[in-house]
Amino acid sequence: MAIITLLTDSGESDHYVGAVKAKIISINPGITLVDISHKILPCDIAHGAYVLKSVFRDFPKGTVHLVGVDASGNRDDQYLALQMEEHFFVGVDNGLFGLISDQHHQQVVQLNSINPVDSTFPEKDILAPAAAKLASGVAISTLGKPLPAFRKMLNRQVKATRRIIAGHVIRVDNYGNLITNINKVDFEILTKGRNFTIQFGGEKFRRIHTNYSQAEQGDCFLIFNSMGLLEIGIYKGNASELLGLLYDSPVNVTFEE
């Protein structure tokens, strides 16, 4: 089954997403289209990368992911098709794809390099045809000139020692929950039965829950979510508003000797 996912910052009040879908199914009506999100904040590469990284592996290998986040890009940005972790991605070489995986890419080609098209709507005119061809079984190598690499940006890195893990909030989700870059594997390696204190926004906690509902309504919970990342929330409330924490706010775990 041919699948194309769509992730854009186009919103849902205009014709843009519909036009991209129309282009794809006009090339191959048998393609299954799946909307990941069209509410990525405009030109927010970090937001788009977080959402894509969170979900792309849940789709079958061979899925094509069309990413139209900051699709107009900067003056020198190129359009590309990329194969990585047995998935295909089409989008702009603006650094987003370098944030979704630490694995080396399998193939990458420059789109719109053989018969270039000038477009004010590259999601429809450049990315959609490339995605439709990939989903229809066309080899990625035929879509453009090969590239040795693509642009990579650096995520906020956790600093970890035997005594402390220093992390940050990397996403405030729709519920106001604070998702950090502190992962469960590092935490368990460093804990080894030791007592710990998690500090953020003037608050200190010494317990991690295994389920959201273990907290009382209005109380704070800390949990390792389905991605294995430390998440801070208020049960039935908005943690970002109530705790005054935003993207990039520091979150530290200290361990007792």
pLDDT, tens digit, 9 for 90 and up, residues 55-106? 999 999 999 999 999 998 777 789 999 999 999 999 999 999 999 998 999 9
Phi and psi for 28 in degrees, rounded to 5?
Answer: -150, 100
Structure-model confidence comparison of residues 121 and 152, the more confident one: 121
Q: Look up the pTM and report it.
A: 0.88
3-146 belongs to CATH 3.40.50.300 = no
The DSSP code sequence of 100-137 is: S-SSPPSEEEETT-SS----S-HIIIIIHHHHHHHHTT
Phi and psi for 211 in degrees, rounded to 5?
Answer: -150, 145
159-255: which CATH topology? Elongation Factor Tu (Ef-tu); domain 3 (2.40.30)
148: CB partners within 8 A, 6+ apart: none
pLDDT, tens digit, 9 for 90 and up, residues 96-138? 999 999 899 999 999 988 778 888 899 999 999 999 999 999 9
What per-residue confidence (pLDDT) applies to 19? 97
What per-residue confidence (pLDDT) applies to 152? 85
Domains 3-146 and 159-255 in one fold: no
Domain ranges of the chain: 3-146, 159-255
Alpha helices in the chain (DSSP H): 16-27, 45-55, 122, 128-135, 184-191, 239-243
Mean per-residue pLDDT of the chain: 93
Position 209 confidence tier, pLDDT thresholds 50, 70, 90 = very high
Question: What mean pLDDT comes out for the span 223-231?
Answer: 95
What CA–CA distance (Å, rounded) separates 3 from 1?
6
